[in-house]
Structure 1
Amino acid sequence: MADEARARRVADRIKTVTAANLESIVKDPDLGFVTVTDVRVTGDLQHASLFYTVFGDEDQRARTARLLEENKGRLRSFVGKQLGIRLTPSLEFVADGIPENAAHVEDLLREARERDAEVAKAASGARYAGEADPYRHEREEAADAEVPDAGER
């Protein structure tokens, strides 16, 4: 069992090597603009999950996923030569959902800003139902205590 620090170092090295050499290994014009966003390696260094994003439409993402799957063996062989460790981890390519999640968060933030604007617009002409400051203050309480009520005289 490898320690976590070594697994992180191996994951970082796989990410760097794969990202820098992906186009030269796959050599296909259908490969989209791929960004390797993260790599996670199991504790025993036997399996690596490579998370990636593709710039383009859904068709481009599908073609890129197919090409990565077809060239998985070549990529693993290259990674194994570059790492120089006894066992080369198997590679799994996972499409990262970061762009979709970011778009969803942006939509939620836009909706929140619109609702805040509506509330601010409604509150701009609003008035207090009673007094502006409904709480009693110490000064007022002291003044009320000094003046006797009409019933006490």
Structure 2
Amino acid sequence: MVAGDGDQIFLGRVTWNRPPDPQKGSSFHIVVLDKRSHLMPSCIAATSARPDKVVAGADGSLDIAEKRYPWLRGIGLRKINGSFSNPGCAVSVRSVDASPVTFQTVLRPARPGTPPEHMVATAPAAVEDLLIALISVGPDGQVYWAQRLLH
């Protein structure tokens, strides 16, 4: 990720203890959400102790988490003008053994005239403006729990 004039880089690290008997196929999502706009960053990069198990992206479990936890409003698919759009990027951790995960995102200044379906979190932002959450997901996409790490 390259930052330009007016861009802001946010760097974070999430760690957890391995569950004693994790269910096979369990995973986590790490979500960054701008609390002011309820938008996610357009891109996020991550690495971990198991770099092959960490990718940027989103899936249907974020829709489930958003419906269950009102404080996660903005992480699910958005319906705009009759079609669905991706809300931005989260970190998908495909192994409970991947702790710790270090992530980086760049927020860019808002561009006037950005269509609603392309809106993402923008700079300037303070750390207090961001919510970081860890979401536990089962092998069939079921959401077990979500925890605010920074709020």
Same fold? TM cut 0.5: no
Greater share of helix: 1
Greater share of strand: 2
TM-score if structure 2 supplies the norm length?
0.30
TM-score if structure 1 supplies the norm length?
0.29
Q: Which has the higher contact order (CA 8 A, sep 6+)?
A: 2
Q: Which has the larger radius of gyration?
A: 1
